Amino acid sequence: MIEFHDVRLSFGPQTIFEHANLMIGEGEFVYVIGETGIGKSTFLRLLYMDILPSYGRVRIGGYDSTAVSRGDIPFLRRTIGIVFQDFRLLDDRSVFENIAFALHVTNAKQKMINPKVTRVLSEVGLSAKADAMPGDLSGGEKQRVAIARALVNDPVILLADEATGNLDPNASREILAIFDRINKRGTAIIMATHDYSLISQRPGRVIKIQEKSFFDVVMQEQ
């Protein structure tokens, strides 16, 4: 479903990826680790084709970086949900409206908006907060709204860039539990984090970025 083939990505003189190869299958749960500045966010940007490789090929779903046109990219993005460290909610809109906004952007049918928003709010355990404003929520709740918004168009893949980076350990574990549930229903999860201690005890594939490429981390037996 996701394939990097001999990818190079440079920003000016700085090369982030070189001869980078990777395969991720449908429905996998993958953590991407590596020190700050190594290229985790850049990797995710390559996946949603915010940037294209300088050389080589990135394939995601039916899309291929060597053949994709600018007009294809919005359609690729509809199959991907994205969550960031800083939530990126609209502070002057309610929780409900923040999530509905993602449906308006994809021209969803008006009568589908209520049931879809209600469903994803329930999935993240925030049914009671539909009318709240983001400013009245805790960090963990804000991130759950962001996850609900990312899920509302039924993505095949959920990308999370340091999604627990602003949260305390309890709120972080809640977010990981939500990701587990989403993954069990078949959505692939790719979560970038610099916090190895958060995920070291968890099941799931761990990919480390180093030497400008990707390496599977083999977990120690407990």
6-19 burial: b if 16+ Cβ within 10 Å, else e: ebebeeeeeebbbe
Ramachandran class of 137: left when φ > 0, alpha when ψ lies in -120 to 50, beta otherwise: beta
What token pair was written down for 99?
């999530």
Which residue minimizes CB distance to Mg ion?
Answer: 41
Would you say 88 or 181 has its CB closer to ligand ADP? 88
Query: Judged by CB under 6 A, does residue 160 bind ligand ADP?
Result: no
Q: How far is the CB of 46 from ligand ADP (least distance, A)?
A: 10
Contact set for Mg ion, span 16-45 (CB under 5 A): 40-41
Buried b vs exposed e over 196-210: b needs ≥16 C-beta within 10 Å? eebbeeeebebbbbe
Judged by beta carbon, residue 9 or residue 117, the one nearer ligand ADP is: 9
Nearest to 74 by CA among 102, 53, 95: 102
Identify which range of 34-42, 106-114, 140-148, 172-180 contacts ligand ADP by CB under 6 A: 34-42
The region of 35-43, 87-95, 128-136, 147-155 touching ligand ADP under the rule CB under 6 A is: 35-43
Site residues (vs ligand ADP, CB under 6 A): 11, 16, 34, 36-42
